[in-house]
Structure 1
């Protein structure tokens, strides 16, 4: 019985180690990254309409912000909670400014390492569309 237990523990350990370093390939038989996609990729695109209250950004990757009045606030989640998360943001309204904030941290424009800002105002011809990536403490802005 002890040999059987030892064999089961050994098999379980081998399976855990093997799957712990797994790579997934989609349309490829030899994935070279954790996720290796040979083909097209679609991400969730949503539109958020502004309101009198803060509009939280909690879902989606490509997000169209539609403020219905000037300086309506759209709030990204904490970069601490979601390290590595990426959002593409676009103000689709030609009349009103979207006010972008975060529940924690600041926005740092690439390649700056200091001088972060807590708010970005998105309006016509100025920060109309950009990408943000969480570094685990703040949001890095790629415009």
Structure 2
């Protein structure tokens, strides 16, 4: 009986160790990363209309987000705290030609940092005809870093 217990424990440990270092390959027999995709990747696309500064539209789902501000001036969108979604990536695009989308962060003192900068801001404007019309945002667990 003791030998059976020992054998089961040894098998469980071996399975756990091997499972912990698993690599998954899609369309490849030799994955070189935790997830290795040899082919195209599709991500969830969502279109969001904005809200007022008092009631901004939350961004919490999807990867590619088409922001559709419609009120004639500036519509507001709010991202989750970066500490609640470390490593999350969003691709945002203001799809209008007339209205500005403005981003802020839900609560706290976290900031948006442009790439290669140590100066952050609490909001980002995404005017319809500017370099900020399309942004990629990445949470480092403390703040959001963005690239245009």
Q: Could you tell me which residue of structure 1 aligns to residue 99 of structure 2? A: 96
Matches within 5 A, 1:1-16: 1-16=1-16
Q: How far, CA to CA, are the matches of 2:81 and 2:125 in structure 1?
A: 18
Q: How does 1:104-143 map to 2 (within 5 A)?
A: 104=108, 105-112=110-117, 114-126=118-130, 127-143=132-148
Alpha-carbon offset, residue 124 of structure 1: 2.0
Check whether the contact 2:92–2:134 (CA below 8 A) recurs between aligned residues: yes
Give, in whole Å, the separation in 2 of the partners of 1:102 and 1:68. Answer: 21
CA-CA distance at 1:2 after TM superposition: 0.8
- Alignment correspondent of 2:58: 56
Are the counterparts in 1 of residues 82 and 142 from structure 2 also a CA contact under 8 Å? Answer: yes
TM-score of the superposition, structure 1-length normalised?
0.95
CA RMSD of aligned residues (A): 1.0
Question: CA–CA distance in 2 between the matches of 1:98 and 1:122?
Answer: 5
Structure 1, unpaired ranges of 5+: none
Give secondary structure in 2 for the equivalent of 1:80. Answer: helix
Answer whether contact 1:84 1:136 (CA < 8 A) is retained. yes
SS at match of 2:125: strand
Moved more, 92-101 or 33-42: 92-101
